[in-house]
Amino acid sequence: MPILIALLAPLLWGSTYAVVSLYLVDLPPLWVAVWRALPAGLLLLLLAPRRPPLPWGKLGLLAFCNIGAFFCLLFLAAYRLPGAVAGTLGATLPLTLMALNWLRYGQRPALRWLLLALVGLGGVVLLLNPSAKLDPLGVACALGATVLIGQSSLWMQRWPVTDLLGLTAWQLVLGGAMLVPLAWLLAGPMPLPKPQALPGLAWLVLANTALAYWAWIWAIKRLGSQVMGMLALTNPLVAVSLGTLLVGEVLNLSQWLGIGLILASLLLMKWPLGSPSLKPAKGQP
């Protein structure tokens, strides 16, 4: 059951491309980000009102890194890079988490986990078949977004908080509120969604954001960032699969090989025993 809940986040996030392609192509991306975050957080607080589970400083830092700045860098990368390249760079999350754990907390990655992360990343490279044309700023934004979500995941794992629903809700509310002035400045006043966009927005708010972010935070606390970094490799796998089923894309032989490598790296994890419990060192946040 924990693995099933943990898989909800990357699997649901993998549906973003198909949902946007089918329902939301006419909405500015930054306003789509606002619609994803702010209504989802407000809905969670409406269903279960609660006080912030962390001091405002830590909560604001998480909201900025995990929602506000993350979405900004993600959309900037999407504008400057082919989608496949951005997806491949995002698949460096397992390696990013290992590097952050090593540099920030002095925990060297086990060779087995390093090899699994490299195998999974190789599978994603084959699956997405990225273009060779790389924009340096776009690459920096994509990698920066990965570092932000990696660091916020480590904070959420280590900080003592038990109200995970409250942590999810307040992050989304604060992060969504941070995005409003930026979206207004760069994309103009918020456009009213057309009726045909409502199913896509409903999916993004309820499943893709409210449920998926809660599942991610829940799984980070239960299974640890190392396992979740590997499970995040299912995100591009789902994105490509839905693109094939719903958007009419066709997979070639190298992409099928990439799918095989991703699945092999996940099956070899032997979760959850392969993920050591990480405890903050004395005096560290």
Q: Of 237, 176, 186, 241, which Cα lies nearest the Cα of 209?
A: 176
Query: pLDDT per residue over 4-63, tens digit each?
Result: 888 888 888 877 777 877 888 788 888 888 988 999 999 999 998 999 999 999 999 999
CB atoms < 10 A from the CB of 35, how many? 23
User: Greater confidence, 93 or 40?
Assistant: 40
Using CA atoms, how far apart are residues 265 and 271, in angstroms rounded to an integer? 11
Classify residue 27 by its DSSP letter: S
Q: Of 62, 7, 31, which Cα lies nearest the Cα of 215?
A: 7
- Percent with pLDDT over 90 in the chain: 26
- First vs last C-alpha separation in the chain: 30
CB atoms < 10 A from the CB of 207, how many? 17
Q: Which ranges in the chain belong to alpha helices (H)?
A: 2-13, 16-23, 29-47, 56-63, 69-80, 83-90, 93-105, 111-128, 136-158, 164-187, 198-203, 212-223, 225-231, 234-246, 253-267
What confidence score (pLDDT) does residue 280 get? 40
Query: 240 in helix, strand or coil?
Result: helix
Lowest mean pLDDT among 42-46, 50-54, 240-244, 253-257: 240-244
Mean pLDDT of 210-233: 85
Q: How confident is the model at residue 272 (pLDDT cuts 50, 70, 90)?
A: very low
- Report residue 230 as tokens: 């590997």
Classify residue 135 by its DSSP letter: -
pTM of the model: 0.79
Using CA atoms, how far apart are residues 36 and 210, in angstroms rounded to an integer? 8
User: What amino acid is encoded at 161 in this protein?
Assistant: V
